């Protein structure tokens, strides 16, 4: 199929706690790009994929839950880096399950090479897949995977 015939998609990119500090936060682990720079790269990648990417960040679990609820009917899929809530939040997991939107989980760092408490993800069982450890490429690969998935269902 020609790219020009593809239906435009709307994707929600959701960033969890402390990711607003990217660029200054532990750059040896999370890299030197700011969240605004990552969001711009996601928009550019989305443009190539004919997907509009809307980004949102919050440090508050309830706001993230509300945003996931609000995604129903507005977006076709969710790209999420839930930050530390990945390892703690049954509420985020349940919100994703409730709206039942295809969701890809991403992490800048390889959570399985780090502390034991980061090895478990509450999000993974309700995600279609997870990409972890490739820095900003985790987001871009995750977006590609999500769009490919949405175009194949």
The whole-angstrom separation of Cα 88 and Cα 13 is: 20
Nearer to ligand DQA, 50 or 128 (CB): 128
Q: Quick check: is 107 catalytic? A: yes
CB of 61 to ligand DQA, least distance (A): 13
Q: What residues from 15 to 34 belong to the interface with ligand DQA (CB under 6 A)?
A: 18
Give 2's contacts (C-beta < 8 A, 6+ positions apart).
none
Joined together, the tokens standing for residue 30 give 């999370």
The whole-angstrom separation of Cα 80 and Cα 75 is: 13
CB of 104 to ligand DQA, least distance (A): 13
Q: What residues from 118 to 137 belong to the interface with ligand DQA (CB under 6 A)?
A: 118
The number of CA neighbours under 13 Å toward the Cβ of 142 is 33
Q: What residues from 54 to 83 belong to the interface with ligand DQA (CB under 6 A)?
A: 81, 83
> 């711009």: which residue's tokens?
40
CB of 25 to ligand DQA, least distance (A): 8
Site residues (vs ligand DQA, CB under 6 A) = 18, 81, 83-84, 86, 107-109, 111, 118
Catalytic residue numbers read 30, 107
């Amino acid at each position: 199929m020609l790219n020009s015939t593809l239906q435009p998609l709307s994707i929600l990119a959701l960033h969890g706690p402390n990711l607003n500090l990217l660029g200054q936060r532990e750059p040896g682990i999370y890299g030197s790009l700011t969240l605004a720079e990552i969001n711009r790269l996601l928009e550019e990648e989305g443009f190539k994929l004919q997907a509009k990417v809307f980004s949102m960040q919050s440090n508050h679990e309830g706001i993230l839950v509300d945003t996931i609820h609000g995604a129903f009917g507005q977006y076709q899929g969710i790209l999420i880096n839930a930050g530390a809530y990945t390892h703690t939040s049954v509420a985020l997991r349940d919100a994703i399950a409730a709206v039942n939107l295809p969701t890809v989980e991403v992490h800048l760092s390889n959570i399985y090479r780090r502390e034991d408490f980061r090895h478990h993800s509450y999000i993974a069982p309700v995600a279609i897949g997870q990409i972890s450890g490739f820095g900003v490429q985790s987001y871009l690969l995750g977006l590609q995977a999500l769009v490919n998935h949405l175009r194949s269902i």
